[in-house]
C-alpha cells in the first residue's frame, strides 16, 4: 500500500518552476531521502507536503486524504510533523518549555473545556508531559532539559528541533537537513536516532540531506532532484550508478 503519493507536482514562483511534474511514492515504515544540488527544489517539496506551499499543479495524497490544499495545521493533525532547516524554536525558553509548547498544538480541548472539565484537562496535561518526557529520553536531551535553547550548541539545538517535531507523535516525519552544521559525532547521533525512529517507533521518515555518505548509508530509497525535476530514484546503489545523478553532482560534492 502506498502511503504518501506525490503526483505530477509543479510549483511555480513568478516565472520560475521550483518543481516540475515531480512524482514520488513513499511506503510506510521506510527512510526516503531527497537529494540534489542547491536550489534543486528539495525544501520546496517538503513545503508542499507539509502545507506551507500549495502546488500550482498536481496532487499530494496521504493515505485516503488529499494534502494538495491542506494547511500546515491540518497536515500536522493528520500525523505528519516536520523539523525545519532553520530552527523553529523559542531561544529564550528552556528545552522542556519548547517541547511542551509544541505538544500543546496537539491538545484536543478548548479553553472552555479546560475551565468546565478540569479533570479531563489535567489528565491530558499529564499525558502530554509523559509524552514529552519520552521524547526527551529518546533524544538524550535529559542534561539540557532546563537550559535555555539559545544557550545550547547548534548541534544540540538541531536535536531539540527534531524532538520538537516528535512531540506531535507523528506517523510521518519530514526532516530538512537535520545534520547541517554538525560535527561527525553529532551526525552519528542523529543517524542513530533516525534509524531507531524507523525500527522502534515505526515512523516513516523523509529526509532532505546534503551529506551523501549518510544518505547512502541509511536510506531505503532516494529521490534525486535537479532544477526542480526528478532525475533519478531507487535504492542507494541504483542512484549511485545513475549517470544523470553522477552528472548533476560533478563539481558539487
Ligand X SMILES: Nc1ncnc2c1ncn2[C@@H]1O[C@H](COP(=O)(O)OP(=O)(O)OP(=O)(O)O)[C@@H](O)[C@H]1O
Cβ at position 120, least distance to ligand X in Å: 41
Shortest distance, CB of residue 122 to ligand X, whole angstroms? 42
Question: Which residues, including other chains, have CB under 8 Å from residue 210's CB and lie 6 or more apart?
Answer: 35, 177, 180
Q: Does 249 bind ligand X (CB under 6 A)?
A: no
Stretch that binds ligand X, among 38-46, 97-105, 121-129, 163-171 (CB under 6 A): 38-46
Count of residues near ligand X by CB under 6 A: 10
∠ CA 145-147-151, nearest 5°, is 135
Q: Is 54 helix (H, G, I), strand (E, B) or coil?
A: coil
Query: Dihedral sign, CA of 140, 164, 47, 49?
Result: positive
Residue of 9, 32, 41, 205 interacting with ligand X (CB under 6 A): 41
Q: Which is nearer to ligand X, 144 or 228 (CB)?
A: 228
40 binds ligand X (CB under 6 A): yes
Write out the H or E segment, with its range, that includes residue 123. Answer: helix 118-138
Q: What is the C-alpha to C-alpha distance for residues 189 and 152, in angstroms, rounded to an integer?
A: 16
Question: Which positions from 18 through 37 interact with ligand X, judged by CB under 6 A?
Answer: 18, 36
Measured from the CB of residue 205, what is the shortest distance to ligand X in angstroms?
17
Question: C-alpha angle with apex 83: 172 to 121, nearest 5 degrees?
Answer: 75
Binding residues for ligand X (CB under 6 A) = 13, 18, 36, 38-44
Amino acid at each position: 500500500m502506498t502511503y504518501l503519493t506525490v503526483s505530477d507536482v509543479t510549483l511555480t514562483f513568478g516565472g520560475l518552476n521550483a518543481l516540475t511534474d515531480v512524482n514520488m511514492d513513499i511506503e510506510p515504515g521506510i527512510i526516503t531521502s531527497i537529494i540534489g544540488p542547491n536550489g534543486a527544489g528539495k525544501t520546496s517539496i517538503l513545503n508542499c507536503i507539509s502545507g506551507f506551499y500549495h502546488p500550482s499543479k498536481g496532487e499530494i495524497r496521504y493515505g485516503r486524504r488529499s494534502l494538495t490544499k491542506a494547511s500546515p495545521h491540518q497536515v500536522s493533525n493528520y500525523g505528519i510533523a516536520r523539523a525545519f532547516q532553520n530552527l523553529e524554536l523559542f531561544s529564550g525558553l528552556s528545552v522542556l518549555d519548547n517541547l511542551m509548547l509544541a505538544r500543546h498544538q496537539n491538545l484536543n480541548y478548548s479553553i472552555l473545556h479546560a475551565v468546565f472539565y478540569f479533570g479531563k484537562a489535567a489528565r491530558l496535561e499529564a499525558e502530554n508531559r509523559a509524552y514529552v518526557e519520552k521524547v526527551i529520553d529518546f533524544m538524550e536531551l535529559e542534561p539540557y532539559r532546563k537550559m535555555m535553547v539559545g544557550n545550547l550548541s547548534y548541534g544540540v539545538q538541531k536535536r531539540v528541533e527534531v524532538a520538537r517535531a516528535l512531540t506531535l507523535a507523528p506517523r510521518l516525519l519530514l526532516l530538512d537537513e537535520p545534520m547541517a552544521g554538525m560535527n561527525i559525532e553529532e551526525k552519528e547521533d542523529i543517524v542513530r536516532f533516525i534509524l531507531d525512529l524507523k525500527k522502534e517507533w515505526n515512523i516513516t521518515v523523509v529526509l532532505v540531506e546534503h551529506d551523501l555518505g549518510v544518505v547512502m548509508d541509511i536510506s531505503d530509497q532516494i529521490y534525486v532532484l535537479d532544477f526542480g525535476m526528478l532525475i533519478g530514484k531507487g535504492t542507494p546503489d541504483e542512484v549511485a550508478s545513475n549517470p544523470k545523478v553522477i552528472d548533476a553532482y560533478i563539481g558539487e560534492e
